[in-house]
C-alpha cells in the first residue's frame, strides 16, 4: 500500500518562501509521477507541479512558473516543492499525489489520474 506524507506547510508573509516535502513509501520501483495539487474551500483541486522520478522535465501550473520549483531526492522516494515569492492566492491546502505511470502534459494536473494522495498540509500567506 502506497503512503504519502507531506510536511513543511505553515504561515508566511507575502513575498516569502516555504518548502514542502513529500515522502512516499510502498512503491516497489523508483519510477512514478509525483507532485503537488492545491485546493481552497469552494474551489476544485488544481495541479501545481509534478515530476517523474525516472527523469525528464517537471510540469508547472502557469500561475506558479518561475516562483515554484519541484525536485526529488537522490533517494527517489521524496519530492520537494520550493515556493518563493508567495502571494495571497497561493494560500491553500497542498496535497501530495502520485501514480505509477509517467507524467505527461495531458494528464499531470488531472485529479482523477492519481491514485495515491497525502492528507494535505496548510499554507497560509498573509499580506
* pLDDT score, position 54: 87
Residue 3 grid coordinates: 503512503
Confidence of residue 108 (pLDDT cuts 50, 70, 90): very high
pLDDT of residue 113: 97
Q: What is the pLDDT of residue 50?
A: 98
Q: What is the mean pLDDT of residues 103-119?
A: 97
Share of the chain residues as helix, strand and coil, in percent rounded to the nearest 5 = 5, 45, 50
Radius of gyration from C-alpha coordinates of the chain: 13
What's the confidence (pLDDT) of residue 1?
81
Contacts of 66 (CB under 8 A, 6+ apart): none
Task: Give the closest residue to 99 by CA, choosing from 120, 114, 111.
Answer: 114
Q: How far is CA 105 from CA 67, 99, 118, in A?
A: 20, 15, 22
Q: How does pLDDT run across 59-105, given as a tens digit for each residue?
A: 999 999 999 999 998 777 899 999 999 999 999 999 999 999 999 99
pLDDT > 70 fraction of the chain, expressed in percent and rounded: 100
Strands 46-52 and 78-83: unpaired
Question: Whose CA is closest to 55, among 121, 125, 122, 103?
Answer: 103
What is the residue whose three cell numbers read 494560500?
A: 91
Amino acid at each position: 500500500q502506497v503512503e504519502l506524507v507531506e510536511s513543511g506547510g505553515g504561515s508566511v508573509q507575502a513575498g516569502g518562501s516555504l518548502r514542502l516535502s513529500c515522502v512516499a513509501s510502498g512503491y516497489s520501483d523508483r519510477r512514478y509521477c509525483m507532485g503537488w495539487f492545491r485546493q481552497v474551500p469552494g474551489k476544485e483541486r488544481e495541479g501545481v507541479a509534478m515530476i517523474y522520478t525516472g527523469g525528464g522535465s517537471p510540469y508547472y501550473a502557469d500561475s506558479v512558473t518561475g516562483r515554484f520549483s519541484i525536485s526529488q531526492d537522490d533517494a527517489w522516494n521524496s519530492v520537494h516543492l520550493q515556493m518563493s515569492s508567495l502571494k495571497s492566492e497561493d494560500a491553500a491546502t497542498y496535497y501530495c499525489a502520485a501514480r505509477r505511470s509517467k507524467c505527461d502534459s495531458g494528464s499531470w494536473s488531472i485529479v482523477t489520474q492519481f491514485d495515491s494522495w497525502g492528507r494535505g498540509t496548510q499554507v497560509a500567506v498573509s499580506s
